[in-house]
Amino acid sequence: MSGQQSGRAGAGEIFQPLAADDPTTVAGYRLAARLGAGGMGKVYLSYTPGGRAVAIKVIRPEFGEDAEFRRRFAQEVRSAQRVQGLCTAPVIDADPDGTRPWLATAYVPGPSLADAVVAHGPLPVETVLLLVAGMAEALHVIHGAGIVHRDLKPSNVLLAADGPRVIDFGIAHAADATSLTGSGVTIGTPSFMAPEQAAGRRVTPATDVFALGQVAAYAAMGVPAFGEGTSHGVLYRIVHEQPDLSGLPERLTELVTRCLAKDPEARPSVQEVIRLCQAANEATVLRRPEDWLPAPVSADITARVAAPAPVQAPPPPSVPPTAPGTVPTAPAYSPTAPAGPTAPPAPPAPTAGRGVPVATAGAPGTGFGPPTGAPGRPATPPPGTGPSAAFAYAPTQHRGPGGPSSPGPYPHGFPPPGTGLRPAAGQARRGLLVALVAALAFGVAGGVTAYVLLKDQGQRTGADGGAQQDGRGGGASRGGSTGPATGATPAATASAAPAAVAPKAVEFKDIDLPAGYHLNLGDEVVRPEDGEDGGYELSYDTGDYLDAEGNGGHLVLLDPGQKGSLATCRAETRFAQDVYVKSLSQGRQICVTTGSGHMGLVTIRGFSSKDSPSKYLTLDLTVWRNAAAAPRS
């Protein structure tokens, strides 16, 4: 009853952004995306308070205005809430009496049967048997709740990793009684209706069995059993003609033929349908494996598993907004300033392009002038500022006539303004001279640093993930005639060390890697080479698995929602020597570390078709050369 129909391509089409006329919440459920729309209403993605994804169908306003529809809809919702089968999407919440009626069901991450057949063609016989048996189980619990589906069709069957799910049961019954059905709103799909339904006669559980036979034929042949065309022509053939089953596999003939009997009494029950599936199965007993779907169809599930998180409202501003043209008065952090409203604000530090600080003598909090606040407090950076903060928070020191000394109560030889103490004239002149020389030296050092950073196009990474620079530099000691500065703390010295340059990412797109071939990540142009054994860095073994054979090499299969990157590959330690292809789907990513020190990220893009003369994987590869240390000998 969820109507979880959506696009077939990428996640951008599956999870559509909300339009201007879409609601943002429904009865407290925050809507994250639109999944699709149909004749009954629109379907949205949302989440329970515990984080489980749900599909919310909001009924069209025209139906909500019809009193008889509301009555039947409420009745169907109550019945549907009793349906708890393994092959259905359970109804978890609803409001038939709301301004716009709605209901919520569990979200099923999987394409519809209609989307899968259009995108990948007919399904194998084994898959069709498991599909029909699962649908029959769903109909068994639906009929047990007193509901006839009435609109069983490929778009109302979702293909999940652990089996099919039948959805949207019961809504067609609620819509049958409305005046809208006679004014252009069609309930039910002509190609999958039963003869009695097309003729307007009584509908029974056998009606769903007829539709089940049509869905089975469509899954196995790729086309409806009674053809396509105008609704009148299709309905005429359903009532008066026999289906075209010339393309149906022989093992499915008895099953489909009996389901499509014109007489409802001649059709099998859902329990008999399951027995027919068992009889047609070569192993006689149906067992649904994890890979019950063809690999290309399984790949479509990946894009639907990574459901987008709900959009959260922005947090309220922590500082009251100020009038236009004014500067906020929130005090800037100063390591030596006392807490409280009396701490003076620090002006923003000037920059010389790309965030390179410019030395400014006397600027509070920059480390180039006297620190404000209580004397003797260490000028250490605040927690979480990262290594680059050492440039601004290097401790200042007193310089006497004989050279550097330990910091005194007034680091530059004179008290800060407002203390009531006046320095001697000689002390003031010496302090001013030292400050001017230090400012000039730091300015030269800052300019050189800016030039180097602007020239270097490589990416610099550090503990804070951003660009780093050594701002302390020897400029201060070189500029002063009294010798090098001393007394810097080890923490400040360590944090001012230059950051390592990140290895450059090299990308190779759409590589078709055949079984029995391998890739070497160290090659200038990475391309498949013949051979699957012999110490290769990444090979596609004919045993249907990817193998890291090089000395010390390993693989890590990332989780479906995990974003692959160099940092992720370095952090993950779920090492494996090989990864079986049956566990892969479109979009899955594998981290590769070679024994020679290279790292790579494999993104699965597709699989060879069954009729292809060769078996291969289509993948994208990102390589970071020398990004991992070579194994110790």
User: What are the tens digits of pLDDT across the range 126-143?
Assistant: 999 999 999 999 999 999
Residues 393-414: what's their mean pLDDT? 41
Which single residue is written with the structure tokens 């602007």? 454
CA distance linking residue 328 with residue 463, whole number of Å: 30
**Residue among 619, 608, 583 nearest 302 (CA):** 583
pLDDT digits (tens, 9 = 90+) for 43-79: 999 998 888 899 999 998 888 888 888 888 888 888 8
CA 253 to chain centre: 42
pLDDT higher than threshold 80 for residue 384: no
At residue 419, the pLDDT reads 44
Please check whether residue 297 is in contact with residue 607, taking contact to mean a CB–CB distance below 8 angstroms: no
**Residue among 82, 79, 76, 54 nearest 63 (CA):** 76
pLDDT digits (tens, 9 = 90+) for 418-452: 444 444 445 545 555 555 555 665 555 555 454 54
Please check whether residue 178 is in contact with residue 68, taking contact to mean a CB–CB distance below 8 angstroms: yes
User: Domains of the chain, with CATH numbers?
Assistant: 11-305 (1.10.510.10), 352-370+385-401+425-502 (no CATH), 505-624 (no CATH)
At residue 348, the pLDDT reads 46
Instruction: Output the six-digit token pair for 334.
Output: 């100063």
Angle separating helix axes 125-144 and 205-221, nearest 10 degrees: 160
152 φψ region: left (φ > 0), alpha (ψ -120 to 50), beta (else) = beta
At residue 544, the pLDDT reads 87
Dihedrals φ, ψ of 32, to 5°?
-100, -30
pLDDT higher than threshold 70 for residue 352: no
CA distance linking residue 280 with residue 100, whole number of Å: 46
Q: Using CB atoms within 10 A of its CB, is residue 273 exposed (0-12), middle (13-18) or buried (19+)?
A: buried
Strand, helix or coil at 78?
helix
pLDDT higher than threshold 50 for residue 120: yes
**Residue among 130, 131, 148 nearest 140 (CA):** 148
Instruction: For residue 165, count other CB atoms closer than 10 A to its CB.
Output: 26
Residues 332-337: what's their mean pLDDT? 38
* Catalytic residue ranges: 151
pLDDT higher than threshold 60 for residue 285: no
Which single residue is written with the structure tokens 């063809």? 294
